[in-house]
Chain A
Amino acid sequence: MLLDSLKPLGIDESKAFEIKLCVEEAVRNAIVHGNKSDPRRQVKFSYWVEDGELNIEIEDEGGGFKPELVKDPTKDENLTRNSGRGVYLIKKLMDRVEYIEPGNKVRMSKRIK
């Protein structure tokens, strides 16, 4: 739905790939890690385009997390670990990422024009 609504803006395939990946990673983190997969808890998703920049907010109903405590998955000793790669990809593929206290809401932005 998000990507369909961005098509009229002429967003290129490469950016669409990156945005899809970051949204899916963030939503999954919200459901699994934030809401602990509790179906009674909700995830709020909103987005808007302003001054050629796509802004996305994803908020869960969990207690939040501290992104600085996520181990760097690119370090040799962590390469075969299966955690932290989603958060890392979001940080690298979006232009700006902010975790809002207590860490249960992420705001990410990417220039699309």
Chain B
Amino acid sequence: MGVRIEPKSGLTVCHVDGEIDINSSPQIKKSFDKLISAKTPKLVINLSKVTYVDSSGLATLVEILKNMKSYGGRMRLACMSSKVKSLFEITKLEKLFEIMADEESAVATF
């Protein structure tokens, strides 16, 4: 699991790779805590290289979203695989998150 942070067009893009699960969630949360402490206003999380998400991973993404909203920040998820996207559909988390098909449109329309 890895998180790479990239400033892009006046916002922040985070590229996550690997599995977002109970093992990697604490590390992922730590990586995002730094962005939240800095009150990052606009964040796109690129999930194209995420191969697996479990309920802990979903909870971690919900936590990041809640923390960003607490100071008025906005966050979008982009480039999910069909398998990962299906979890957001089944759990209805698609209602909570802004989910974009690709990074370019997530960045361009922010």
A30 to B48, CA, bound (A): 31
**Known A20-B52, A21-B54, A25-B54; contact A82-B59, beta-carbon cutoff 8 A:** yes
B51-103 residues with Cβ-Cβ distance < 8 A to A are: 52, 54-56, 58-59, 62-63, 66, 83, 87, 90-93, 95-96
How far is it, in angstroms, between the C-alpha of A89 and the C-alpha of B56 when the chains are bound? Answer: 12
| B95 close to A85 (CB less than 8 A) | no
Let me know if A79 and B92 touch, CB within 8 A: yes
Nearest B residue to A18, CB-CB: B83
Q: Is the interface of A mostly helix, strand, loop or mixed?
A: helix
Q: Which 10 A-B pairs have the closest CB atoms?
A: A82-B59, A74-B92, A86-B55, A85-B55, A17-B83, A92-B90, A79-B96, A80-B62, A85-B91, A24-B54
8 new A-B contacts at CB < 8 Å, known A74-B92, A76-B95: A17-B83, A21-B87, A24-B21, A28-B22, A73-B91, A79-B93, A82-B59, A88-B91
CB<8 Å pairs between A and B, sample of 30: A13-B83, A17-B83, A20-B52, A21-B52, A21-B54, A25-B55, A28-B22, A28-B56, A73-B91, A73-B92, A74-B91, A74-B92, A76-B95, A79-B92, A79-B95, A80-B62, A80-B66, A80-B96, A82-B59, A82-B62, A82-B63, A85-B59, A85-B91, A86-B54, A86-B55, A88-B90, A89-B55, A89-B91, A92-B90, A93-B90
Q: Which residues of B contact A (CB under 8 A)?
A: 21-22, 52, 54-56, 58-59, 62-63, 66, 83, 87, 90-93, 95-96
